[in-house]
Structure 1
Amino acid sequence: MSSIVTPSLAKLTKINRTFSIAPMLDWTDRHYRYLARVMSAELLLYTEMVTTGAIIHGKGDYLGYNDEENPLALQLGGSNPHDLARCAKLAFDRGYDEINLNVGCPSDRVQSGRFGACLMAEPKLVAECVTAMKQVVDIPVTVKTRIGIDDQDSYEFLSEFVETVSHVGCDTFIVHARKAWLQGLSPKQNREIPPLDYQRVYRLKKDHPSLNISINGGVKTLSECREHLLHLDGVMVGREAYQNPYLLAEVDQQLCGSDKPVLSRDAVLEKFIPYIEKHLISGGRLNHITRHMTGMFQGEPGSRAWRRYISENAHKPGAGIEVIEQARKMMTL
């Protein structure tokens, strides 16, 4: 294992946890994160969950990102303290601003690897994992969890889990305000069927005022974010931030006190196009990026024409910026 880092290596990045975007598999890749950063300088970005096995044994670069994405957190999936520490140190050396441990994903594949939501039943192991990572990095190590699992869904169960993990120095928890059913429900169903219980997360903060606690689950508007922020330190938004990405354009102004002008949708595209061009020049395909843009004009006249034109043309060989330009023109026909 790598040696303990010295204070001289500490990162000075100040993380604003008021608003963050949830880790979403196959969605929050580096292209989407760059688009999100174009719209908001203040929000905190999270990678998709990356397993320790992929980082240690995989052939690809699972830690790659664009410098412009910072502040950026890496979400790790795993339960072996040594492996998690090894991956955390690699991420620290690459310039990540936070390491987040996934204790919330309920999928069967994740459970078979003994990580994700099933770890809520093993708080001492989670504490060991956090301790191992904190020993080798000088950036925050945080935990994203549920309010409970299966029949272990009392407030006392959640509070005891948080207390156990916080005692080893984890002071930040992101809580998905639904419990997870480890058997019988798909990951998609686990995001929709178990009822939301925001009050339980509010109580957790009230009972543990020294901890930084963010809430996740079912949040769709910045107005709802403001309501949660009356009780909590931060709000994490998932599907709405992906399917309606322009929501992010007013995060800095409405939630973070910024007085900079709000970018129009067209201004966002204009700032994003150089990134797309760079991707194309390097041999990338247009649809790898435009799949994240189909919701940019959600609710606007012509949005269906925008989505349809991009969906029908961005995947074609040689497709370039002209597809985006034409899709925008189609909205006015």
Structure 2
Amino acid sequence: MTSLFDPVQMGDIALANRIVMAPLTRSRAIEGLKPGPMTVEYYRQRASAGLIIAEATQISPMAQGYIGTPGIHSEEQVAAWREVTNAVHAAGGKIVLQLWHVGRISHSSLLPDGAAPVSSTNRAANAKTFTADGYSDVSTPRALRDDELPGLVEDYRKAARNAIDAGFDGVEVHAANTYLLEQFLRDSVNDRSGPYGGSIQNRARLLIEVMQAVAKEVGGGRTGIRLSPMTTFNDTKLDSQPQALYNYVVEQIAPLGLAYLHVVEGETGGARQPAGAVTFDYAALRSRFPGTFLVNNGFTGAEAQSVLSDKLADAVAFGRLFIANPDLVRRLRESKPLNPLREEGMYGGGAEGYIDYPALPA
């Protein structure tokens, strides 16, 4: 029987166990949107995870949507992330970086020269974000022109190269939680015509081009992708045909030899099959994907082991449990009590709620 504590080969990345730290926005970037010394310590503390997926990180200045989130588009950012990867590797861990563009979930105050956010559409989301002025309504976006999209793909390619140059073991393309790539995927948001709108094939085109470019740049075996077919996060309705859409996406990226497919099962931060919602067949995605299948969304240790035992996944990602328990792997292995999560310090601030959670005594 497969155990959470068994090793697994995830593409070109060998993991010591199947317990993955999910990407978690913590909003503690320092000047220049760089990870600072506290971030180095935060990830070092959690290096016993089979794999750390570092927090969502902007691929360009136009990709930012929240105050205090880091980038991977400047030399200074690359150098600062190298301090993180060095610390994780010295502690025996593996770490990849999640590549992020928020699209319309942004505010002009966060973008160069007060620019409008960009998206597949010019319709604003009924959503809020964190700015220097507090919790603010997101700004109305500008719909990207078709001739701008090759430049966007190039931004992803460059960011992937920067991540590898910073010492990451790989990258994860963030195509979940209703940010930019999912804003192109779903017909509930994408209202454009032409080669990137309308049919499932057209709406999936941008994501497929991004995945091809990233896999070519850093290798499919060092590239993952995150999808969230059933989330309505950030005021985004489900696609009219979610199963057909995401089945198609996975079929198209399967030949790239990706390291893993990371799926948020159900509502982000909520139920894996929300009551009254359209049900989704996650096994259908797994059957279409030849690489490692990674699942996520509020699993307990026992639930995670059950998923592996039932062969529904190859590894499980934990988010909030890893925030409160830097030594989560040991606690699960030894059936030790878990630290409770403190909501204060979740986003922004100093060491409290970030690097002050206690580990078990040696």
Name segments (4+ residues, structure 1) moved above 6 Å: 262-265
Contact 1:148 1:158 in 2 (8 A): no
Contact 1:130 1:170 in 2 (8 A): no
Contact 2:174 2:225 in 1 (8 A): yes
Greater Rg by CA: 1
What's the TM-score, normalizing by structure 2? 0.56
Matches of 2:87 and 2:223 in 1, distance apart?
A: 21
The alignment status of 1:165 with 2:253, answered yes or no, reads: yes
Matches of 1:75 and 1:174 in 2, distance apart?
A: 11
Q: Which has the higher strand share?
A: 2
Label 1:134 to 1:234 Cα distance change in 2 as closer, same or farther (>3 A). same
Paired residues for 1:257-268 under 5 Å: none
Label 1:12 to 1:246 Cα distance change in 2 as closer, same or farther (>3 A). closer
1:20 alignment partner in structure 2: 20
1:68 alignment partner in structure 2: 87
Residue 233 of structure 1: how far off its partner (Å)? 0.8
**1:270-298 CA distance string (max 9 Å, x none):** xxxxxxxxxxxxxxxxx844432454379
Residue 173 of structure 1: how far off its partner (Å)? 0.6
Paired residues for 1:202-221 under 5 Å: 202-205=283-286, 207-208=287-288, 210-219=290-299, 221=300
The alignment status of 1:30 with 2:69, answered yes or no, reads: no
Matches of 1:127 and 1:23 in 2, distance apart?
A: 22
The counterpart of 2:58, out of the listed 51, 60, 83, is: 51
Matches of 2:251 and 2:323 in 1, distance apart?
A: 32
Residue 49 of structure 1: how far off its partner (Å)? 0.6
Contact 2:40 2:87 in 1 (8 A): no
Contact 2:98 2:174 in 1 (8 A): yes
Residue 119 of structure 1: how far off its partner (Å)? 4.3
Label 1:27 to 1:15 Cα distance change in 2 as closer, same or farther (>3 A). farther
Amino acid at match of 2:294: S
The counterpart of 1:175, out of the listed 239, 263, 266, is: 263
Structure 2: which 5+ runs fail to align?
1-10, 29-38, 61-70, 102-148, 187-202, 232-236, 339-348
Equivalent residues, number: 238
1:151 alignment partner in structure 2: 238
**1:172-213 CA distance string (max 9 Å, x none):** 21000125xxxxxxxxxx4237845997323432x2362321
Label 1:295 to 1:199 Cα distance change in 2 as closer, same or farther (>3 A). farther
Label 1:246 to 1:203 Cα distance change in 2 as closer, same or farther (>3 A). same
Amino acid at match of 1:173: L
Label 1:17 to 1:178 Cα distance change in 2 as closer, same or farther (>3 A). farther
Matches of 2:12 and 2:230 in 1, distance apart?
A: 34
Structure 1: which 5+ runs fail to align?
1-10, 180-189, 255-261, 266-286, 299-327, 329-333
1:118 alignment partner in structure 2: 183
Matches of 2:210 and 2:19 in 1, distance apart?
A: 26
Amino acid at match of 1:192: G
Q: Which has the higher helix share?
A: 1
Matches of 1:74 and 1:217 in 2, distance apart?
A: 19
Label 1:89 to 1:66 Cα distance change in 2 as closer, same or farther (>3 A). closer
Amino acid at match of 1:55: I
Residue 45 of structure 1: how far off its partner (Å)? 0.4
Label 1:119 to 1:46 Cα distance change in 2 as closer, same or farther (>3 A). farther
2:222 alignment partner in structure 1: 140
2:270 alignment partner in structure 1: 192
1:128 alignment partner in structure 2: 209
What's the TM-score, normalizing by structure 1? 0.60
1:228 alignment partner in structure 2: 307
